[in-house]
Chain A
Amino acid sequence: MEIEESRQLTIDGEVCQVPAGTTLREACLQVGKEIPALCWHERLTPANTCRACVVELEGSRTLVSSCSRMVEDGMVVHTDTPRVLHARKGVAELLLSTMMDDVNAPELQKLAQATEADPAHFRVGETLVQPIRDDNDLYVRDYSQCILCYRCVAVCGEDAQNTFAIHVAGRGLQAHIDTGFDRSLPDSDCVFCGNCVQVCPTGALIGKTEWSLRQENEWDEKKIQVTETTCSYCGVGCSLDLHVLNGRIVKVTSPYNHPVTQGMLCVKGRYGYEYVQADVAHLQGS
């Protein structure tokens, strides 16, 4: 057995020990300090894009992102100085300034409330207007809700799916998620696993069924019942959470802590459930 090395650091005046390889954010959580984060996701490599998780590190000129910075011996960290709180508030206000609404972005809402952000603060500025991309029957892309967290890019790439169908294109204000030459999804390399939809924190990527029901004001989170079961397709045994609304499956996700899926599904597991609720006329036609 390897002997686990430990690191000592000071968080808001409290001295603590953590194993080597712990991030600052994890270390803060261990002493009861919850640091907000938007782009960070338990299943993905940190992208360091949102800056919501910044903390003040003594000796460092800039604030550091706690989700990716590893603890080193002797670090002295402050999590709630005016400088830190001001930076986080700025992050929230800038992100809110580009979003048309935040109803489907609970993590951002939470950050805005915690930092007392003013959503209108930067609304006077220019923003990249993008049409809703509704080009297939499985999921819709509404990039007016996108905060460029890179989660979809990471999950489509090496962190899970290894399809590499999307990336961030353009710079500055023009930065946006692109399928390569702005092709439609069916014409792109996308295989419709929907893992990007599962990790999207804002509803910029949303299942077509959920999107349509929301359009018709029929999506009611409180009425949805979730049942954990196992996929009926291949022999991998993926755990499925079936989200059922009014007697119909309207969404399928998978728990991140499941040993088989770690939250990820293929297109059949995530979208191939319609056969249990197809209407008879459709089946007779097939």
Chain B
Amino acid sequence: MVGSNAAEAHPIIFQHILRGVHQGAKLVVVDPRATLTAKRAHEHYALEIGSDIALFNSLAHVIIRDKLQNQSFIERATTGFAALQAEVTQWPPERAAAITGIDASRIEHLAHAYASAKRAMICWTLGITEHHNAVDNVFALINLALLRGNVGRPGAGLNPLRGQNNVQGGGDMGALPNRLPGFQDLTDAAVRNRFELAWGVPLSPKPGWNQTQMFEAMADGRLKGLYVIGENPLESEANSHHIERIFDKLDALVVQDLFLTPTAERADVVFPAAASFAESEGTYTNSERRVQLVRSALTPPGEARDDVWIVQALARAMGHPWIDKSAEEVFAEVRELAPNFRGITYARLAMAQGLQWPVPHKDHPGTAVLHTRLWQDPVDPRVPFMPVDFSPPVERPTVDYPLLLTTGRRLAFYNTGVQSNVYAHPHNQGEQVEVALADAERLELTEGMWVRVTSRRGWITGPVHISASLPPGVVFLSFHFPDQVRTNVLSIDATDPRAGTAEFKAAAVRVEKWSPSQEA
């Protein structure tokens, strides 16, 4: 598990993983922090923040140097091995050790352990993807799995654990700038043509903007109107002060949410929405591509309406003759247009407790393992190795900002706290600034003392928690309690050019004692 604190962020997946461990599987955790997940692992590799590619390239170096790669799989199913070899040749463990802080002998050991496993799975979460080089981080992991043929087989594979209930489903339904429902390519004329026939309107072949690109367009005035559904970017996005400034530039902001969040408070129009999991009908898709039903158990309060109803009513108000469809009727259209969903019906979902796409026809049982084609003949197309180079976090510790802030989740709470700050959890004590023991001693901080944390973008204050799980030089905050601590005022909006993800995991900061009376 790499950059994943599943014990807190995905507790039920972690139960499945630990069942494997109790049955003899070996668990290795790569994470700068000694998280709850790391404490349950056989081995924990506490690498320097953002040094992931140095480690992964070095693991590939050892595997190839010691001829431990799965040569027959590489020859049958991949391309570009020579290019990978040329890149990772430059990554002997000694070089990676200097960057990652992990002893060369431990890197050798981990490479041999991974290479000797008949089946090995790599799971990751935002510790890999919330970096300015998120896509490269993922490529480096894919390279490792391909080297050993750990793809397309049960018990192996590459498994990004999805962080939100329906982030997979949103993508499934085409809520991506370059995709139509079923992950179909918008730029493919044949695909577009089928949707144009079904919808009776021409579709632009030009991909839209991802969120980061929208923010850039808001900053320079190319985007003047924004419709935000079920998101609280004022508190969830990196560099909050900058986000505030670009939201101020909008001519029109529409927010559709359960609550009047700080984002909704700025809106020109607010559409009160029903809570999807308990007040509306529909589906979510989970981390293993399992499409599952959500059903209404409660009547939404006041004027709150189902998202599907709101979107259709808005279309009619804008002059389009949309007929009112239920979520199930919309899903029927998805089945027509998206081959991956063709075999899924609400009736089947209820019977089967969810189905994992692709489900190409109505008798298909769903697909538990992807990419099995790599083990069938002929392999077409083959999978490319993607050699990548290491690039450190955009901000490095300096004299003025000597520490690195990394952010993450806590077990009982969730994102900006809109949902999780309402129930009465006994440990709901608000945000704490977690500081490593050595740094606390150097700064003469004691437990509970108030501190100010400053980055190049802003500052926050909060009480200190001296944490044994942090290595020296690292500060940790969640962003679950923005009413009290606006963590993302500090975080850096350096983003991956391809994925648009910000580097939430590494922002240079300084920590100082602070007295609440200074606030005035």
Taking beta carbons and an 8 Å cutoff, which residues of A are in contact with B? 136-138, 158, 160-162, 185-186, 191-193, 225, 227-240, 242, 244, 247-249, 255, 257-261, 264-269, 271-278, 282-283, 286
Cross-chain pairs A/B with CB under 8 angstroms, 26 sampled: A160-B15, A162-B15, A162-B18, A162-B40, A192-B412, A225-B297, A230-B277, A230-B294, A232-B419, A234-B9, A235-B167, A235-B287, A237-B288, A238-B12, A242-B297, A244-B298, A259-B290, A259-B353, A260-B290, A268-B414, A272-B412, A274-B422, A275-B259, A278-B422, A283-B259, A283-B422
Expressed in whole angstroms, the minimum distance between the Cβ of A1 and any Cβ of chain B is 15
What residue of chain A has the Cβ atom nearest to residue B11's Cβ? A266
Tell me whether B426 and A268 are in contact (CB under 8 A): no
Residue B13 interfacial (CB < 8 Å): yes
Tell me whether A234 and B15 are in contact (CB under 8 A): no
What residue of chain B has the Cβ atom nearest to residue A244's Cβ? B297
User: Which chain B positions have C-beta within 8 A of A276?
Assistant: 258, 275, 278-279, 298
Cβ-defined partner of A229 (8 Å) among B258, B295, B412: B295
Residue B483 interfacial (CB < 8 Å): yes
Tell me whether A234 and B423 are in contact (CB under 8 A): no
Q: A192-B426, A232-B276, A272-B419 are in contact. Are A267 and B18 (CB under 8 A)?
A: no
Q: A229-B277, A239-B292, A260-B286 are in contact. Are A138 and B12 (CB under 8 A)?
A: no
Tell me whether A286 and B421 are in contact (CB under 8 A): yes
Expressed in whole angstroms, the minimum distance between the Cβ of A160 and any Cβ of chain B is 6
Cβ-defined partner of B284 (8 Å) among A162, A230, A242, A266: A230
Tell me whether A273 and B278 are in contact (CB under 8 A): yes
Q: A162-B40, A232-B275, A272-B414 are in contact. Are A239 and B167 (CB under 8 A)?
A: no
**Residue total for B at the interface (Cβ-Cβ under 8 A):** 57
Q: Which among A136, A233, A283 has the greatest number of chain B C-beta atoms within 10 A?
A: A233
User: Which chain B positions have C-beta within 8 A of A230?
Assistant: 165, 277, 284, 286, 292-294
Residue B411 interfacial (CB < 8 Å): yes
Q: A237-B287, A272-B419 are in contact. Are A158 and B22 (CB under 8 A)?
A: yes
Expressed in whole angstroms, the minimum distance between the Cβ of B84 and any Cβ of chain A is 30
Cβ-defined partner of A185 (8 Å) among B296, B299, B418, B426: B426
Tell me whether A268 and B277 are in contact (CB under 8 A): no
Tell me whether B276 and A249 are in contact (CB under 8 A): no
What residue of chain B has the Cβ atom nearest to residue A241's Cβ? B297
B170-187 Cβ-contact flags toward A at 8 Å (1 or 0): 000000000000000000
User: Which chain A positions have C-beta within 8 A of B284?
Assistant: 230, 237
CA A234 to CA B5, docked complex, whole Å: 13
Apart from A232-B419, A235-B10, A278-B422, list 9 A-B contacts with CB within 8 A: A158-B18, A191-B411, A191-B412, A230-B292, A235-B168, A236-B13, A267-B411, A275-B420, A283-B260
Residue B93 interfacial (CB < 8 Å): no
User: Which chain A positions have C-beta within 8 A of B22?
Assistant: 158
B255-289 Cβ-contact flags toward A at 8 Å (1 or 0): 00011100000000000000111110000111110
- In B128-178, the 8 Å CB interface with A consists of 161-168
Closest 5 A-B residue pairs measured CB to CB? Answer: A237-B286, A235-B162, A227-B297, A137-B424, A266-B11
What residue of chain B has the Cβ atom nearest to residue A225's Cβ? B297
What residue of chain B has the Cβ atom nearest to residue A280's Cβ? B301
CA A232 to CA B277, docked complex, whole Å: 6
Tell me whether A267 and B12 are in contact (CB under 8 A): no
Tell me whether B297 and A161 are in contact (CB under 8 A): no
User: Which chain B positions have C-beta within 8 A of A260?
Assistant: 12, 286, 288, 290, 354
What residue of chain B has the Cβ atom nearest to residue A248's Cβ? B298
Cβ-defined partner of B12 (8 Å) among A185, A265, A283: A265
**Chain A interface, DSSP helix/strand/loop, else mixed:** loop
User: Which chain A positions have C-beta within 8 A of B118?
Assistant: none
What residue of chain A has the Cβ atom nearest to residue B166's Cβ? A235
User: Which chain B positions have C-beta within 8 A of A234?
Assistant: 9-10, 162-165, 414
Taking beta carbons and an 8 Å cutoff, which residues of B are in contact with A? 9-15, 18, 22, 40, 161-168, 258-260, 275-279, 284-288, 290, 292-299, 353-354, 411-414, 418-427, 483
CA A255 to CA B354, docked complex, whole Å: 13
Expressed in whole angstroms, the minimum distance between the Cβ of A194 and any Cβ of chain B is 12
Cβ-defined partner of A274 (8 Å) among B163, B164, B287, B423: B423
CA A276 to CA B14, docked complex, whole Å: 27
CA A276 to CA B285, docked complex, whole Å: 21
Expressed in whole angstroms, the minimum distance between the Cβ of B327 and any Cβ of chain A is 13
CA A161 to CA B259, docked complex, whole Å: 32
User: Which chain B positions have C-beta within 8 A of A240?
Assistant: 277
User: Which chain B positions have C-beta within 8 A of A193?
Assistant: 11
Tell me whether A249 and B295 are in contact (CB under 8 A): no
Cβ-defined partner of A237 (8 Å) among B15, B278, B290: B290
User: Which chain A positions have C-beta within 8 A of B167?
Assistant: 235
Expressed in whole angstroms, the minimum distance between the Cβ of B495 and any Cβ of chain A is 22
Expressed in whole angstroms, the minimum distance between the Cβ of B483 and any Cβ of chain A is 7
User: Which chain B positions have C-beta within 8 A of A275?
Assistant: 258-259, 275, 418-420, 422-423
CA A138 to CA B425, docked complex, whole Å: 7
Q: A234-B162, A259-B354 are in contact. Are A242 and B278 (CB under 8 A)?
A: yes
Tell me whether B483 and A138 are in contact (CB under 8 A): no
Q: A264-B15, A268-B412 are in contact. Are A138 and B40 (CB under 8 A)?
A: no
Cβ-defined partner of A249 (8 Å) among B298, B424, B427: B298
CA A184 to CA B192, docked complex, whole Å: 61
What residue of chain A has the Cβ atom nearest to residue B162's Cβ? A235
What residue of chain B has the Cβ atom nearest to residue A227's Cβ? B297
What residue of chain B has the Cβ atom nearest to residue A283's Cβ? B259
User: Which chain A positions have C-beta within 8 A of B292?
Assistant: 230, 237, 239
CA A158 to CA B15, docked complex, whole Å: 9
CA A255 to CA B353, docked complex, whole Å: 10
CA A248 to CA B296, docked complex, whole Å: 12
User: Which chain A positions have C-beta within 8 A of B275?
Assistant: 232, 275-276
CA A239 to CA B286, docked complex, whole Å: 11
Q: A227-B296, A230-B292, A233-B419 are in contact. Are A267 and B412 (CB under 8 A)?
A: yes
Expressed in whole angstroms, the minimum distance between the Cβ of A232 and any Cβ of chain B is 4
Tell me whether A261 and B258 are in contact (CB under 8 A): no
CA A236 to CA B17, docked complex, whole Å: 13
CA A236 to CA B414, docked complex, whole Å: 14
CA A238 to CA B10, docked complex, whole Å: 10
CA A277 to CA B297, docked complex, whole Å: 12
User: Which chain B positions have C-beta within 8 A of A192?
Assistant: 412, 425-427
CA A242 to CA B277, docked complex, whole Å: 10
CA A225 to CA B296, docked complex, whole Å: 12
Expressed in whole angstroms, the minimum distance between the Cβ of B351 and any Cβ of chain A is 12
User: Which chain B positions have C-beta within 8 A of A278?
Assistant: 422
User: Which chain B positions have C-beta within 8 A of A257?
Assistant: 353
Expressed in whole angstroms, the minimum distance between the Cβ of B447 and any Cβ of chain A is 16
Q: A231-B165, A260-B286 are in contact. Are A267 and B425 (CB under 8 A)?
A: yes
Expressed in whole angstroms, the minimum distance between the Cβ of A197 and any Cβ of chain B is 14
